[in-house]
Structure 1
Amino acid sequence: MPQSQKLLKSTAIVSVFTLLSRVLGLVRDVVLMNVFGASGLMDAFLVAFKIPNFLRRLFAEGAFAQTFVPVIADYQKKSNQNNFHDLQILISRVFGTLLLLLSVLTSVVMMFAPVVIGAFAMGFIHEPDKFATATTLLRLTFPYLLLITLTAFASSVLQSYQRFVIPTVTPILLNICFIIFAIWLSPYFAEPILALGYAVLLAGILQLGLQLLPLYQQNLLILPKVDFAHTGVRQILKGVLPAIFGVSVLQINLLINTSFASFLPTGSVSWLYTAERMSELPLGVIGVAIGTVILPHLSHNNNEQNFIKTLDWACWLVLLIGLPASLALIQISDILMLALFQHGRFGSHDALMSGFALQCMAGGILAFMLIKIFAPAFFAKHQGKIPVKAGIIAIVANAVSAVVLLGIFSTINLPLHGALALATTLSAWVNVAVLYYYLKKQQLFKFNPHSKKRMLQLCVANGVMLIALQIMITLFPTNASQIGKILAFLAICVGGMLVYAVGLFLAGFRSGSLKSD
């Protein structure tokens, strides 16, 4: 099977299960906002959950995966019946080292939870009830970092053997736990919001347990042993810090924005969270899926031309889906929030505030996707310093932009949380620009000769789609029931996708146009 077909098949598998997880995640967020609303307690939970979740994305799905996959790929190249034992030793030592480091970190954070909350959400210090609730929730949620990082470690091993199903099914368990605890179990708690903390803890246990059988089937379920001197462990630890800045810039920026938002009016953290979740739907389904699939291929690929073709294929697939997703979300953000979230304790004002944040953030969706493609290329080549440089520049750009935009938004009387969302977008494009510059400089990437034609086709199709969406939005029934609004919104989405597909076809684009070989 040609490489492009293999990549497309693997990407499709990851995307389908990721889409299922994201859709269930959307249901989860609708449930949480309907049950708890954009309240002070919900703000407290989101801060308490965002800290371990931020570190999860930093270490587990971000930095660790980017450094571990190339290392295990090197061991697999050398692996045969005689030295398969070396691969087992690597997994044992990495497992043991992670277990020790994360156990120590978890213990320290749980002990000093008030200090951590004070550092990440300084605005809560002057609201004692919110601060106390956030502290209690952090002690419940932080062990999730230990459990989910070990889960991500196991998932990386499975993905290196082209087993993508279990790792992509795993996140569904968190969504299920949230929904069950929020709807059915929270009323039994003296403080209902604490139910969400227990949901996170149970989900971490279940997610780790799901990986054990497939690891055993690969003969890779090995007892952990701590060994900082092991060559593979040292190589991974050396690469983790660069990878943090290389692939997890978005998460760092979102956490910085949460700290800023803790000083803004109650509900700001929830509004930003809802916008983040909506922007992550296309990012998770396409950007993360492609990044997950191509990293093992890039790490195994010693042929420079094939390396370049793989990046070109991934980039165009991202443009094909990410560009319309970004433009459409900017246009339909308000009706999306009104249709999906305006219910229960989440009112129309909350929906419009979340929609405004999504408008400001959606412009960066394509950039977020491209980062997931460009950064792994450097890690596959063991050039982690370049994504670090790009990441640091992007983080500084986000902080500076946030301060400047807060001043501008205040002057022109726009909702201040939108400034933080827009700063995230600007930072993402700065990151992409720096990564692209170094890819071109090192001749690791170039668009193929058909690029101008493809870009023209994309512009035509997206232009037609935006016109069609604008017409359909004017017909949206704002006074209908929630079911009616959801059906109308889905009809608009389907209509937009159909118009986009027809626009591509009429512009001359065909399904076989994207090839990496």
Structure 2
Amino acid sequence: MTKKNAGYHAFLVGAGILLSRIMGLVRQRVFSHFFGLSDIADAFSSALRIPNFLQNLFGEGVLSASFIPVYARLLAEGRDEEADRVAGAVGAILALSVSVIVLVGMAATPYLLWAIAPGYTGAKRELTILLVRILFPGTGVLVCSAWCLGILNSHRKFFLSYSAPVVWNLAMIAAMIVFRHSHLDRLAVYLAWGTVAGCLLQFLIQVPPVLRVTHGLRLRPDAGNVHVRTVIRNFGSVAVSRGVVQISAYVDQALSTLLGPGVMAAMTTAATINMLPVSLFGMAVSAAELPAMAGAVGDEDASAVAKALRERLDRGLRQIAFFIVPSAMAFFAFGDVVTAALYQTGKFTHAHSVFVWSIIAGSGVGLLATTLGRLYSSTYYALRDTRTPLRYALVRLVLTTLLGVFCVFALPPWFGIAPRWGAAGLTASAGIAGWVEYMLLRRGMNARIGVTGLPFGLMARLWGAATIAAAVGGGVKWALGRGHPVWLALWVLGGYGVVYFALTFALRIQESRALLGKVARKLGRR
């Protein structure tokens, strides 16, 4: 795949993710309007994340890393019939496995809640159990949706699979609007059923294009096929690796339930903002590069393979850093502005925006490391190495747990602040652990394919431009004072973005000149 095609595919992934994330922000805004940072908001946020463990363990990231390298390689070799058999076998095995896990999960929900949300008691705990049991089957359907994504991505059909979550968000929004006059606890139940309907819709809209590109797909659990065994073997390693990351997230969730009412809902609200740049830039580049990297690894010349991987990896790292550096700076400087513009309505107040800002600022610590680490992990997966990322993920888990416990139980009393502010320490500690994992991933990859990474000069220019732009945006914020949240965000973030792009263009940063050049050419043609 050429550099131009790689950029186009990354654009399609980014466009699909952008649409789904915009709808996700709209859905969270509607949710915040009705629920604010209440106990019921905590219950639904926790309930949604518990079965999502299944999706994250078996879904998009794991399935892509284990299935796409094998499936895409068969397609690259022109072995379409064999590729279809592998896809059908993997789909059948996945559906059977997930069905069993969903049933077990629904039965074991009360016990899971003791581990995941130990701070919930009484009616709050009972509501969370009910919501989890409703949501579990829908999450199982989302895992099957991830299987569709793996097939479509391997056929370079990126847009639909990444924009499909739009219908999931629409179903949730519709449920809240239709039943808006219900009592909040009942509204949460209706929202859970709307979520399940959205999961089913997200899967169904991907089925027709999957059937078109596979030509006679049959769901048969053929575990004897050598390629299927390879997928299963890789799947196990990647699932454990992803499971470690998810355990880290659930440790944070369990700790947050001990910090008081509204903290879990605030963590979820902050996560929707934090994941926007990660999804748009980290996932877009990684998802577009993985099939191409996997197709190139089969070449006979090892030095040529290493060179190709280095070039693709370095190019992807530069693209990610160009957008993530200003995103992290915006989290530090303007997290309150962003949160207020997106969610300050109804029961979600300015005080809530400030609290969520503290959590977002903490997540900014590791934002760059998290997104760069995704691309390095994809490179390992393209090399059929799923164990190395697992080892480094274990290191991250241990660090995140130790630092998280320290931030929750030691830092607030130390500084004489309310326990709820320990939530910012949770996200910051995860960021520090993310940097350690990223450095380990980079060092290991450099030992295999040669030196990769971002030049110091480039990073100095990016951070310098972002800092100056933040100072300008801060001046605009100070001059305007407390205006309407949306208009304030447009002026502050607009000024910040204009200055950042202007400075990076003046500093001759390749990505800035390429992007602004494309915009100029399109405007010129019009």
Same fold (TM over 0.5): yes
Q: State the identity %.
A: 21
Contact 1:250 1:368 in 2 (8 A): no
> Could you tell me which residue of structure 1 aligns to residue 2 of structure 2?
3
Q: Structure 1 residues 130, 234: closer, same or farther in 2, change over 3 A?
A: same
User: 1:122 is matched by which residue type in structure 2?
Assistant: P
Deviation for aligned residue 1:457 = 3.2
Contact 1:326 1:363 in 2 (8 A): yes
Deviation for aligned residue 1:79 = 2.9
d(CA) in 2 for partners of 1:476, 1:397: 41
Q: 2:330 pairs with 328, 331, 335, which one?
A: 328
Alignment of 1:360-509 (within 5 A): 360-406=362-408, 407-414=410-417, 415-447=421-453, 451-478=455-482, 480=483, 484-509=484-509
Deviation for aligned residue 1:296 = 0.4
Contact 2:400 2:430 in 1 (8 A): yes
2:125 equivalent to 1:131: yes
Superposed CA deviations along residues 244-296 of structure 1, whole A, max 9, x for unmatched, are: 35456554322211111111101110111111111111111111111110000
2:218 equivalent to 1:218: no
d(CA) in 2 for partners of 1:239, 1:157: 17
TM-score by length of 2: 0.91
Q: Which runs of 5+ in 2 are unaligned?
A: 298-304, 516-526
2:100 equivalent to 1:104: yes
Superposed CA deviations along residues 198-234 of structure 1, whole A, max 9, x for unmatched, are: 1211011101101111112113462322233332332
Superposed CA deviations along residues 51-92 of structure 1, whole A, max 9, x for unmatched, are: 122331232112121111111023223334xxx322221111
Superposed CA deviations along residues 346-373 of structure 1, whole A, max 9, x for unmatched, are: 2222221111111111221111111111
User: 1:468 is matched by which residue type in structure 2?
Assistant: V
Alignment of 1:42-441 (within 5 A): 42-80=41-79, 84-124=80-120, 127-188=121-182, 191-220=186-215, 222-246=217-241, 250-302=245-297, 303-406=305-408, 407-414=410-417, 415-441=421-447
d(CA) in 1 for partners of 2:328, 2:512: 24
Q: Structure 1 residues 510, 238: closer, same or farther in 2, change over 3 A?
A: closer
Deviation for aligned residue 1:315 = 0.3
Q: CA-atom RMSD, angstroms?
A: 2.0
User: 2:431 is matched by which residue type in structure 1?
Assistant: T
Contact 1:46 1:269 in 2 (8 A): yes
Contact 2:331 2:357 in 1 (8 A): no
Look up the SS of the partner of 2:205 in the other structure: helix
Look up the SS of the partner of 1:50 in the other structure: helix
Contact 2:411 2:422 in 1 (8 A): no
Superposed CA deviations along residues 7-26 of structure 1, whole A, max 9, x for unmatched, are: 11111111122112111211
Pairs aligned (count): 503
Contact 1:327 1:363 in 2 (8 A): no
Q: Structure 1 residues 232, 185: closer, same or farther in 2, change over 3 A?
A: farther
TM-score by length of 1: 0.93
Contact 1:177 1:200 in 2 (8 A): yes
Look up the SS of the partner of 1:446 in the other structure: coil
User: 1:391 is matched by which residue type in structure 2?
Assistant: A
User: 1:191 is matched by which residue type in structure 2?
Assistant: R
Deviation for aligned residue 1:473 = 2.3
User: 1:433 is matched by which residue type in structure 2?
Assistant: M
User: 2:479 is matched by which residue type in structure 1?
Assistant: L
Q: Structure 1 residues 433, 476: closer, same or farther in 2, change over 3 A?
A: farther
d(CA) in 2 for partners of 1:304, 1:374: 14
